[in-house]
Amino acid sequence: MSLHAPDLKTPLPGPKAAAIVARDRARVSTSYTRDYPFVMARGEGAVVEDVDGNRFLDCAAGIAVTATGHAHPAVVAAVVEQAGKFLHMSGTDFYYEPQVELAEEMARIVPIARDTGDVRSFFSNSGTEANEAALKLARYKTGRVNIIAFLGSFHGRTMGSLALTSSKSVQRRGFGPMMPGVYHAPYATCYRCPVGLKPESCQAECLGFVEDQILVHLVSPDEVAAVIVEPIQGEGGYVVPAPQFHQRLRELTKKHGMLLVADEVQSGMGRTGRMFACEHFGIETDIVTVAKGIASGLPLGVTSARADVMTWPLGAHASTFGGNPVSCVAALATIKLLKDGLIKNAEVVGRHLIDRLRGLQEKHAIIGDVRGRGLMIGVELVRDRVTKERATTERDAIVQAMFRRGVLLLGAGRNALRFAPPLVLTTAQADTIVDVFDEVLGQGA
């Protein structure tokens, strides 16, 4: 099924896809956001095929989930083998080795307690559940109730994590009041610096809002349980902060006895060319949350913490399906593949893709900024490079135009595109994606 270029056989959507979309509209929740009528039939690596036989290059990876590509043979084999033994036994009430083995592996790889590896993990089914667990754990451990998060963040849409999320108002509208005790500060978005400074002179002055405003006027530092932050902001626009931001934030949390929670749900599991994005900034955290890419498409969330932090008592938190044995073996197979070459591939191909996209920036004035690490790349579109007016409708039109030309791409934030393909992407496939993007920009979408 491998190919470098899209292969479209029918108008989009094709007849089979159109019929399924119509059935979906009649019976599936109206809350789902579908940017275009792609109806998946099968996939292999970074290539997907719809029900009408049209083949696309996948630059979305199921929202940064299929880290090892679609249907990687090693992951499929692990899943099939485990499914033939047992599908479920609930790790909250019983024992089984795949969950223990994954907990041991997490202790080896997460950016927590690197010197001792003294780490424990709680298993759930998704990113939002992983963050809910982190919230509860932080409150329990510290005896404090307040949380600091950042504007533009996305931590999930269940009621606790929703209070932390601030990427789009539509995600919060109609569900208030939010969980109390959450305060939002500006994220270090250097392209649009919240305090009006230049990236080259940045010393993370935006954190002054936390130190001089939130902790002075709104909440006492000794009442803040944790700060939760995305090392590289995902839904907010694939924003890469200056290293000083995370380093100063780590110092701030230690100074006041707050826990630092790194939400690596989208940035973790090799996507940035490191196992975790925190590694780019040289920091260790107290709690790390992961999901998305950890099991190559099977539902799994993990909340890992220093062992002296994860000390809650029996029954304090649990999940019937969390740490499902099939998901655990998929995660173990995924981690092995990442270590055996996919992290390096993400670094190498990601650097190539960023270079190619920056080449387009010189050609197309609509590209205001290209940023990223590994295969977590954001392209911010503007109507004017001086004023940085956001090209919102243009971004949406480009997403549609890429689909019509056989490339699956998604937006991020108000006016950015996210390039988040499976980590098996080749340089030839990356070149095809950029060539299609160039064509779309040249034709004005």
Q: Which two tokens stand for residue 97?
A: 């080795």
Structure confidence by residue, pLDDT tens digits, 142-190: 999 999 999 999 999 999 999 999 988 888 988 889 899 999 999 999 9
For a pLDDT cut of 70, what percent of the chain falls above it?
99
Confidence check: pLDDT of 370 > 80: yes
Residue 184 to residue 433: CA distance in whole angstroms: 36
H/E segment holding residue 227: strand 224-229
The pLDDT score that the predictor gives to residue 39 is 98
Asked if 306 and 407 sit in the same domain, the reply is no
Confidence check: pLDDT of 75 > 90: yes
Question: What radius of gyration, in Å, describes the C-alpha atoms of the chain?
Answer: 21
Confidence check: pLDDT of 2 > 90: no
pLDDT bin (cut points 50, 70, 90) of residue 202 is: confident
For residues 381-385, average pLDDT: 97
Tabulate helix, strand, coil % of the chain (nearest 5): 40, 20, 40
Asked if 161 and 302 sit in the same domain, the reply is yes
Entry field: residues in the chain: 445
Asked if 310 and 234 sit in the same domain, the reply is yes
4 falls within a domain:
no
pLDDT bin (cut points 50, 70, 90) of residue 198 is: confident
Q: Measured between alpha carbons, how far is residue 332 from residues 76, 177, 232, 297, 301 in Å? A: 12, 40, 24, 13, 13
Residue 210 to residue 260: CA distance in whole angstroms: 14
Which of 314, 338, 362 terminates a domain? The answer is: 338
What global pTM score does this model have?
Answer: 0.95
Alpha helices in 232-364 (DSSP H): 243-256, 325-337, 343-363
Sheet holding 40-44, edge to edge: 40-44, 47-50, 55-58, 407-408
pLDDT bin (cut points 50, 70, 90) of residue 3 is: low
Asked if 204 and 131 sit in the same domain, the reply is yes
Give the CATH number for residue 407: 3.90.1150.10
Asked if 50 and 127 sit in the same domain, the reply is no
Work out the angle at residue 253's Cα, subtended by the Cα atoms of residues 220 and 161, and round it to the nearest 5 degrees.
80
Asked if 55 and 138 sit in the same domain, the reply is no
The pLDDT score that the predictor gives to residue 189 is 92
Q: Assess contact for 137 and 287: CB atoms under 8 A.
A: yes
Confidence check: pLDDT of 365 > 70: yes
For residues 373-400, average pLDDT: 97
**245 is in which domain, residue-wise?**
76-338
For residues 249-257, average pLDDT: 97
Asked if 52 and 178 sit in the same domain, the reply is no
274 falls within a domain:
yes
7 falls within a domain:
no
How does the average pLDDT of the chain come out, rounded? Answer: 96
Give the rounded distance of the alpha carbon of 187 from its chain centre: 16
Which of 320, 338, 356 terminates a domain? The answer is: 338
Confidence check: pLDDT of 371 > 80: yes
Asked if 21 and 115 sit in the same domain, the reply is no
Asked if 328 and 364 sit in the same domain, the reply is no
Between residues 410 and 170, the one the model is more confident about:
410
Between residues 190 and 141, the one the model is more confident about:
141
Structure confidence by residue, pLDDT tens digits, 12-37: 999 999 999 999 999 999 999 999 99
Asked if 105 and 228 sit in the same domain, the reply is yes
Asked if 319 and 200 sit in the same domain, the reply is yes
Give the CATH number for residue 125: 3.40.640.10
Q: Which of 79-93, 186-200, 349-363 bottoms out in mean pLDDT, i.e. has the lowest?
A: 186-200
Q: How many domains does the chain have?
A: 2
Which of 312, 338, 364 terminates a domain? The answer is: 338
Confidence check: pLDDT of 247 > 60: yes
Structure confidence by residue, pLDDT tens digits, 95-129: 999 999 999 999 999 999 888 989 999 999 999 99
